[in-house]
Amino acid sequence: MCVLLISCRAVALKVSRVSLNVVRSPLRHEARVLQLLQGHRAIPALLGYTRRPHFEYMAIELLGPSLRQTAKRGRALPLETVARVGEQMLSALEHLASHQIVHRDLKPDNILLCCADPARVVLVDFSIAQHFPAVVAKPAFIESDTTSPLAFPTGTPQFCSLSAHVGAAPAPQDDLESLAYVLLFLYLGDLPWHVENPWRAYPEVYTQSVMRAYAAKRALVTDSALRTISIPHEIAHLFGSASRREDHGRYMSSVARLREQFRDLAFSLGESDHDHDPLNWSPVLPPGASLPVPPPFRSDSTGSDSSGSQVLLEAQQSLRDCPPDAALRYAFDDQEPVNEYCSDDSYYETYLYTYCVVYGRRLSLTFPPDDAASLDAQLPDIADVEYLRPVYEHEDEDQGRNG
């Protein structure tokens, strides 16, 4: 392995507490995925990886806030910004598919602004990403009847695909569907459904919110409800492409065509140099003809559920007569969504269906041995990690008086 020495440079250091007894540690898998994907502007630069007793570390380029932090509290983003984000993420998904990788947790929290390039956004968190040939060869998923959604689907329930909701094996189209939800979130200022935080809500309340989100997604993707919401055709085309399980060649052609559509949309809105001009993050009111931001869902006392179309219609009716500024007072949640699927501590947690305490990630969900060894040989090594306890201002004054 080559040794990378980082001096006088701020980097992002991801830390995972993991026993040395774990054979296939989660952060090493993420480092391998990033090493494989290096060279694309929407993929963070991998600067180093190392494993020490009790912890493993991965250093990547320091990035800015997430889209969740940038576009929050019910505010939408300008359509030209949505188009440019969509084009860059489609380019990233095209790059992932060319290396047979499925991200599986695409959401606003995992798309970060770039500090060095204000025209760039970056896709992060490949902790549950999968090498697609391994999934096809030895699926390690509980196949369902595709009609009963899971309480804890893979990824984040707010943005995961319909296939993830029912526990189906991952496919590249799942990332495409999640991207459509992300762009809809940016364009409308929120989504028509809300999923409760499982750590703060009663189990039945959380489960019901997941079921309602699943029903609303089905209505949006498969029913006529999509035509009742005034959204750009480019986002609507994303849903259509995601619903088709095409072979690899046709999928790549579809993504390339969608990417061109988003580039043309940005150009038509005045973004002539969208590869270099800074992205506009100024908040705007959600489109008046679009679905307004609904208040957070809470289950009713009867515990009854509604169909997906009813969820969408109730959300649309809830703010139909509100003044424009009222939409800004609604927020998805000030709490960051929880990724229920992935834990960073192998001492106390296990990964549902994909992880065991002794061996780490299941062998069928990792790279083939030869590929893993090749990627490990390319990983830059972090020579040493030292924690420095911060010294506060009052401590400096005390040391000065005592010195």
Tell me the per-residue pLDDT of 351-403, one tens digit each, with 9 for 90 and over.
444 445 445 566 667 888 899 999 999 999 887 666 544 544 455 555 555 54
Position with higher pLDDT, 310 vs 9: 9
Of the two residues 224 and 302, the one the predictor is more confident about is 224
Among 251-265, 280-294, 335-349, 359-373, the range scoring the smallest mean pLDDT is: 335-349
The whole-number average pLDDT for the span 135-139 is: 50
Domain with CATH 1.10.510.10 in the chain: 67-329
pLDDT at 90: 98
Q: What pLDDT sits at residue 227?
A: 54
Average pLDDT on 21-26 reads 83
d(CA 68, CA 63): 14
Q: What does the pLDDT read at residue 30?
A: 95
Instruction: Flag whether pLDDT at 173 surpasses 90.
Output: yes
Query: Which amino acid makes up residue 240?
Result: G
pLDDT of residue 167: 87
pLDDT of residue 168: 87
CATH superfamily of domain region 67-329: Transferase(Phosphotransferase) domain 1 (1.10.510.10)
Residue 10: pLDDT band (50, 70, 90) is confident
Q: What CA–CA distance (Å, rounded) separates 185 from 12?
A: 27
As a whole number, mean pLDDT of residues 45-49 equals: 94
Q: When comparing pLDDT for 139 and 111, which is higher?
A: 111
Q: 197: which residues sit within 8 A by CB, 6+ positions away?
A: 206, 333, 335, 337, 338
Strands 55-61 and 46-52: antiparallel
32 compared with 223, residue with greater pLDDT:
32
The bridge status of strand 121-123 relative to strand 111-113 is antiparallel
Give me the DSSP letters along 358-381: TTEE-GGGS--HHHHHHHHHHSPE
Identity (one letter) of the amino acid at 199?
W
Mean predicted confidence (pLDDT) in 22-45: 93
Reported as a pLDDT band with limits 50, 70 and 90, residue 302 is very low
Which pTM value belongs to this model?
A: 0.80
Region 120-139: what's the mean pLDDT? 80
Within 10 A of 393 (CB to CB), how many other CB atoms are there? 7
At residue 401, the pLDDT reads 53
Task: Identify the pLDDT of residue 345.
Answer: 36
Q: What is the CATH code of the structural domain delimited by 3-63+343-382?
A: 3.30.200
Please give the share of the chain, as a percent, with pLDDT higher than 70.
Answer: 68
Q: Over 60: is that where the pLDDT of 305 sits?
A: no
Mean residue pLDDT of the chain comes to 77
Looking at residue 271, its pLDDT comes to 86
Start-to-end Cα distance in the chain: 45
Q: Boundaries of CATH 3.30.200 in the chain?
A: 3-63+343-382
C-alpha to C-alpha distance for 257 and 263, rounded to whole angstroms: 10
- 166 versus 317: which is more confidently predicted? 166
147 pLDDT tier (thresholds 50, 70, 90): low
pLDDT tens digits, 318-334: 434 444 333 333 333 33
For 71-86, what is the mean pLDDT?
89
- What's the pLDDT score for residue 290? 43
pLDDT in tens, 240-266: 898 888 888 999 999 999 999 999 999
CB contact set of 3 (below 8 Å; sequence gap of 6+): 380, 381, 383
Decide if pLDDT at 346 tops 80. no
Bigger pLDDT: 335 vs 72 = 72
For residues 133-146, give the mean pLDDT.
51
